[in-house]
């Protein structure tokens, strides 16, 4: 099957060019000058399908490097399965997800990983890879780190938050980082001081402050800044590359910037919710509504201007990537577990379908350039997590994961059931996007064509990753 995408503006992390993109089978075969379609040649005769992209952007498919499909958490399980979540990703122009295989307390890492493969195998709409969560640092877990790279998994995550669940103390983190430094693995960190947050949360609940808003008060920015600093220092001591997930506080960004200026391999990821939503407007919504936006790290106060700093950090490369931390829970039967006690609200927001659109909005408002949009959402995730060349770029030999994006289109999200995620609400209710995902191609197959879904469960394959291509 040969496909020719004609007359579009092909955008990469470093520039844009009007070109035709020729796809042969699962791969990009060539970029051609428009009109030079080799008319009359053997090649042109053998093209099966032509997609007219005049006036539109042709970009590498989105890579969402932080999702939690079917994650057991907060006494329930994230509501998107690999099937529903990856289909929603496809609708939104994301053609690869990197999900977190979860090792729970008392479980063996390799068993947990096998269980994660079982969940995802044969049902995904788009390609998928894994990071490994180490939820219990034991001798066995440390040993298991040594096998991960052979499994195509070159990053693992620990938590300085959630005592009694996934929490690791400093001694455990130090040991894991020492081993990761030897192995060349990327250490990913949920950087919030969990023990401090638990005390603050308990005090708030005892004082009768039980609503969703207080989730944000308990998870103070100081707890994020402190843990970020501590993670950076432990990484510095051990020489382990460090990637801090879901950064929301401007003070944590400053910690990352200082370490990066000193030449340390330290990276930061933020999420759309920290660029658009706030403690006051969403977590502070009337009644129990704010539960929709309970996630960790939490939404920050608009009066402290975190969003402004975060957009700036995305421009200056103090923060390198935007992932979603997609971890959806329905209000009914899930979020409502925390009525009367915000500590029992399952933490997480669902956004996997909207990341490309929401970040394109930053192009529309002038916060980032078109090229930076592609870099933040596709090219850097590919380089950061060792799949660049295969993914994250439109060039001969790369997987034909391509999105045709219409800057003159429009996308209304959230009002009513306008999304495809398995949720009974949307965290993005009322967002109007100038732009629209028109066509999504996954390894050469058109899986979204306008408002038609043409893919099927099981199209997506497991992607084995190499070591990070982003280290200095
Ligand atoms: O609220 C969140 N972020 N839920 C998912 C788990 C995590 O901490 O990433
Ligand atoms: Zn986290
Ligand atoms: Zn997460
Ligand atoms: Zn549409």
Site to substitute for ligand 1 among 160, 165, 246, 343, most atoms within 8 A of C-beta: 246
The per-residue pLDDT of the chain, averaged, comes to 97
Atom of ligand 1 nearest to the CA of 159: 8
Cα–Cα distance list, 366 to 72, 315, 370 (Å): 39, 11, 9
Pocket lining: 348 vs ligand 1, CB cutoff 6 Å: yes
Q: Is 324 a pocket residue for ligand 1 (Cβ < 6 Å)?
A: no
Which ligand minimizes its atom distance to the CA of 327? 1
Phi-psi region for residue 419, left (φ > 0), alpha (ψ -120 to 50) or beta?
beta
- Separation in Å, CA 118 to CA 39, 132, 442, 462: 47, 15, 22, 11
Return the ligand number nearest the Cα of 295. Answer: 1
Rounded to the nearest angstrom, the distance between the alpha carbon of 460 and the centre of ligand 1 is 24
pLDDT grade for 219, boundaries at 50, 70 and 90 = very high
Q: How far apart, in whole angstroms, are the C-alpha atoms of residue 418 and residue 440?
A: 18
> Among 114, 174, 171, 196, which Cα is nearest to 148's?
114
Q: Is residue 68 in contact with ligand 1, taking CB distance under 6 Å?
A: yes
ipTM of the complex: 0.94
Residue 38 confidence class, pLDDT cut points 50, 70, 90: low
Helix (H, G, I), strand (E, B) or coil at 114: helix
Q: Assess whether pLDDT exceeds 80 at residue 45.
A: no
Q: Does domain 62-361 have CATH number 3.20.20.140?
A: yes
Question: Which residues, listed in sequence order, are joined to residue 63 by a DSSP beta bridge?
Answer: 96
Per residue in 119-156, pLDDT (tens digit) is: 999 999 999 999 999 999 999 999 999 999 999 999 99
pLDDT for 35 equals 76
Of 91, 61, 133, which is closest to residue 422 (Cα–Cα)? 91
Among protein residues, the one with the nearest Cα to ligand 1's atom 3 is 296
Q: Is 146 helix (H, G, I), strand (E, B) or coil?
A: helix
Q: How far is CA 401 from CA 90, 229, 288, 405, in A?
A: 11, 37, 40, 13
| pLDDT on residue 39 | 52
For residue 40, is pLDDT > 80?
no
- Residues 372, 375, 381, 386: is their CA dihedral positive or negative? negative
CATH number of 2-59+389-453: 2.30.40.10
Do you know the residue count of the chain?
A: 472
Residue 42's pLDDT band, with cuts at 50, 70 and 90, is low
Strand partners, 10: 17, 58
pLDDT at 418: 83
Q: Residue 118 class from Cβ within 10 Å (0-12 exposed, 13-18 middle, 19+ buried)?
A: exposed
Strand partners for 242: 187, 266
The region of weakest confidence among 35-39, 67-71, 354-358 is 35-39
Is 264 within 8 Å of 236 (Cβ atoms)? yes
Per-residue pLDDT tens for 183-211? 999 999 999 999 999 999 999 999 999 99
Answer whether residue 62 shows pLDDT above 70: yes
Q: Quick one: which H or E segment has residue 24?
A: strand 16-24
Q: How far is CA 215 from CA 22, 205, 294, in A?
A: 50, 10, 7
pTM greater than 0.90 (yes/no):
yes
Residue 300, φ and ψ in degrees, nearest 5 = -100, 165
Contact 377 CB / ligand 1 (< 6 Å): no
Q: What is the mean pLDDT of residues 407-429?
A: 90
CA angle 351, 195, 342 (to 5 degrees): 50
Q: Nearest-CA neighbor of 71 among 145, 186, 148, 162?
A: 162
422 vs 333: CA distance, rounded Å: 13
pLDDT more than 90, % of the chain: 96
Distance CA 373, CA 313 (A): 13
What's the gap in Å between 327 CA and the centre of ligand 2? 10
Cα–Cα distances (Å) from 320 to 56, 373, 383, 384, 422, in that order, read 26, 11, 11, 9, 29
Ligand 1 near 325 CB (within 6 A):
yes
Tokens 């933020």 locate to 270
Nearest CA to ligand 1 atom 2: 348
Give the bridge partners for 50, in sequence order. 4
Q: Is 89 helix (H, G, I), strand (E, B) or coil?
A: helix
Give the integer Cα–Cα distance in Å for 281 and 240: 38
Ligand 1: nearest atom to the Cα of 68: 5
The answer to whether residue 453 scores a pLDDT higher than 60 is yes
Q: Quick check: CB of 327 below 6 Å from ligand 1?
A: yes
* pLDDT band, residue 248 (cuts 50/70/90): very high
Q: Which candidate, 469, 456, 360, 356, places its Cα nearest to that of 402?
A: 356
Give the whole-angstrom CA distance, residue 15 versus residue 413.
Answer: 29
Output the pLDDT for position 37.
55
Q: What is the pLDDT of residue 413?
A: 87
User: Of all helices (H) and strands (E), which one includes residue 112?
Assistant: helix 109-120
What single string gives the DSSP state of each residue in 385-397? Answer: TT-BTTBSS-STT
Residue 71 CA, ligand 1 centroid: distance in Å: 10
Q: Probe ligand 1: pick from 325, 329, 423, max atoms within 8 Å of CB?
A: 325
Q: Give the residue from 347, 341, 323, 398 showing the smallest Cα distance to 75.
A: 347
Q: Do 455 and 95 meet the contact criterion of CB atoms below 8 Å apart? A: no
For the chain, domain boundaries: 2-59+389-453, 62-361
Residue with tokens 């796809």: 23
| C-alpha–C-alpha distance, residues 103 and 176, integer Å | 14
How many other β-carbons are positioned within 10 Å of the β-carbon of residue 215?
27
Give the integer Cα–Cα distance in Å for 17 and 8.
Answer: 8
- Bond before 266 cis per omega within 30 degrees: no
- Ligand 1 atom nearest 245 alpha carbon: 9
Q: Which of 347, 349, 352, 423 to mutate to test the pocket of ligand 1 (most atoms within 8 A of CB)?
A: 347
């Amino acid at each position: 099957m040969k496909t020719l995408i004609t007359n579009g503006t092909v955008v990469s992390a470093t520039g844009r060019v009007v070109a035709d993109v020729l796809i042969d089978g699962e791969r990009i075969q060539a970029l051609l000058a428009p009109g030079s379609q080799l008319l009359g040649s053997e090649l042109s005769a053998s093209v099966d399908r032509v997609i007219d992209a005049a006036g539109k952007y042709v970009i590498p498919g989105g890579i969402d490097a932080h999702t939690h499909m079917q994650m057991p958490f907060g006494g329930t399980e994230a509501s998107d399965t690999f099937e529903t979540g990856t289909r929603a990703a496809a609708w939104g122009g994301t053609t690869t997800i990197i999900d977190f295989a979860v090792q729970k307390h008392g479980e063996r890492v390799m068993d947990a990983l096998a269980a994660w493969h079982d969940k995802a195998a044969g049902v995904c709409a788009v390609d998928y890879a894994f990071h490994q969560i180490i939820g219990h640092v034991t001798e066995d877990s440390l040993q298991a780190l040594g096998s991960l790279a052979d499994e195509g998994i070159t990053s693992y995550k620990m938590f300085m938050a959630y005592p009694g669940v996934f929490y690791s103390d400093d001694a455990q983190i130090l040991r894991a980082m020492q081993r990761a430094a030897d192995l060349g693995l990327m250490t990913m960190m949920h950087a919030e001081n969990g023990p401090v947050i638990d005390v603050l949360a308990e005090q708030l609940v005892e004082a009768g402050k039980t609503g969703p808003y207080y989730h944000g008060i308990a998870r103070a920015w100081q707890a994020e800044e402190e843990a970020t600093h501590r993670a950076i220092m432990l990484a510095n001591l051990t020489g382990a590359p460090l990637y801090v997930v879901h950064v929301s506080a401007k003070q944590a960004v400053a910690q990352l910037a200082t370490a990066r200026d000193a030449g340390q391999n330290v990276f930061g990821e933020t999420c759309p919710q920290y660029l658009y939503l706030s403690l006051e407007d969403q977590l502070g919504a009337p009644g129990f509504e704010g539960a929709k936006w309970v996630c960790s790290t939490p939404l920050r106060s608009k009066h402290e201007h975190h969003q402004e700093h975060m957009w700036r950090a995305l421009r200056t490369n103090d923060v390198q990537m935007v992932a979603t931390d997609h971890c959806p829970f329905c209000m009914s039967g899930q979020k409502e577990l925390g009525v009367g006690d915000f500590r029992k609200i399952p933490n997480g927001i669902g956004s996997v379908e909207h990341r490309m659109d929401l970040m394109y909005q930053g192009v529309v408002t002038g916060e980032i350039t078109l090229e930076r949009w592609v870099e933040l959402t596709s090219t850097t995730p590919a380089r950061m997590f060792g799949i660049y060349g295969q993914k994250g770029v439109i060039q001969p030999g790369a997987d034909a994961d391509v999105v045709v994006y219409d800057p003159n289109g429009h996308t209304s999200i959230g009002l009513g059931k306008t999304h495809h995620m398995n949720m009974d609400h949307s965290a993005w209710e009322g967002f109007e996007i100038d732009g629209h995902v028109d066509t999504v191609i996954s390894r050469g197959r058109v899986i979204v064509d306008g408002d038609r879904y043409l893919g099927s469960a099981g199209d997506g394959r497991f992607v084995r990753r190499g070591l990070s291509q982003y280290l200095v």
